[in-house]
């Protein structure tokens, strides 16, 4: 795999990862592998090989997705990330054959990013836990709003939302936050006073794309 033209952003929810990947691809005429780009492989996957990823493909009632216990949700999330890494590597191997920069909103683990790719091309974007959890449904993207509507349709929406937020809290735990913060990669913290353009310049500078 040609890794020279690959650039990765990972981190917590609501930190700006998806926005930066899109803007980087636009500025540097590259390929944007945006959030959940691995979904392009979803139709052909074997549920026995990828049980977590195909869970959402094969689910009969999406209300079951949001009704799970916080621990079930957290465990599923961790397994899905591990399966997504396999799929992302497959896609990136093909994309690397093109002579273009590739910008990735990634699920690939910190360990794999450190050992298989250029660490100088990796940026971690972090938002505080209360922002990642409390403002999760403020995001306008269809996926988040779909989940929110499912929760509102349950018999006790307030209890259902609180239960779902507990799962988000486990995923965005202090332990996970500190692991990313202390990973050795360059870190950018969410700052409401910084414009998108200023954040883009910062990410591009950290990645060595500009001086």
Length, in residues, of the chain: 211
Considering only residues 136 and 166, tell me which one the structure prediction assigns the higher pLDDT.
166
- Average pLDDT over the chain, rounded to whole? 95
Rounded Cα distance, 104 and 118, in Å: 13
Q: What is the pLDDT of residue 141?
A: 80
Tokens in use for 7? Answer: 């650039």
Q: What is the pLDDT of residue 134?
A: 83
In the predicted structure, residue 195 carries a pLDDT above the cut 90: yes
Strand segments (E) across 17-121: 31-33, 102-105
Res. 204 pLDDT band, cuts 50 70 90: very high
**Per-residue model confidence as pLDDT tens digits over 88-129:** 999 999 999 999 999 999 999 999 999 999 999 999 999 988
Strand segments (E) across 111-174: 122-126
Tell me the CATH architecture of domain 6-204: 3-Layer(aba) Sandwich (3.40)
Please give the average per-residue pLDDT across 42-66, as a whole number.
97
Q: What are the boundaries of each domain within the chain? A: 6-204
Q: How far is CA 111 from CA 83, 117, 173, 183, 185, in A?
A: 15, 10, 19, 9, 11
């Amino acid at each position: 795999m040609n890794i020279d033209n690959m650039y990765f952003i990972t981190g917590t929810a609501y930190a700006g990862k998806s926005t930066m990947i899109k803007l980087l691809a636009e500025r540097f005429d590259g390929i944007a592998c945006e959030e959940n780009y691995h979904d392009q492989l979803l139709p052909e996957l074997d549920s026995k090989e990828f049980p977590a990823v195909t869970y959402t493909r094969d689910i009969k009632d999406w209300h079951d997705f949001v009704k799970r216990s916080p621990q079930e949700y957290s465990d599923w999330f961790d397994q899905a990330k591990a399966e997504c890494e396999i799929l992302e590597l497959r896609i990136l191997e093909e994309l690397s054959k093109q002579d273009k920069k590739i910008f990735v909103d990634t699920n690939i683990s910190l360990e794999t990013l450190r050992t298989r790719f250029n660490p100088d091309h990796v940026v971690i974007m972090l938002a505080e836990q209360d922002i990642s959890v409390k403002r999760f449904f403020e995001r306008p993207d269809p996926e988040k709003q779909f989940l929110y509507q499912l929760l509102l349709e349950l018999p006790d929406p307030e209890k259902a939302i609180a239960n779902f937020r507990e799962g988000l809290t486990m995923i965005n735990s202090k332990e996970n936050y500190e692991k990313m913060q202390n990973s050795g990669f360059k870190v950018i913290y969410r700052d409401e006073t910084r414009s998108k353009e200023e954040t883009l310049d910062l990410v591009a500078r950290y990645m060595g794309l500009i001086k």
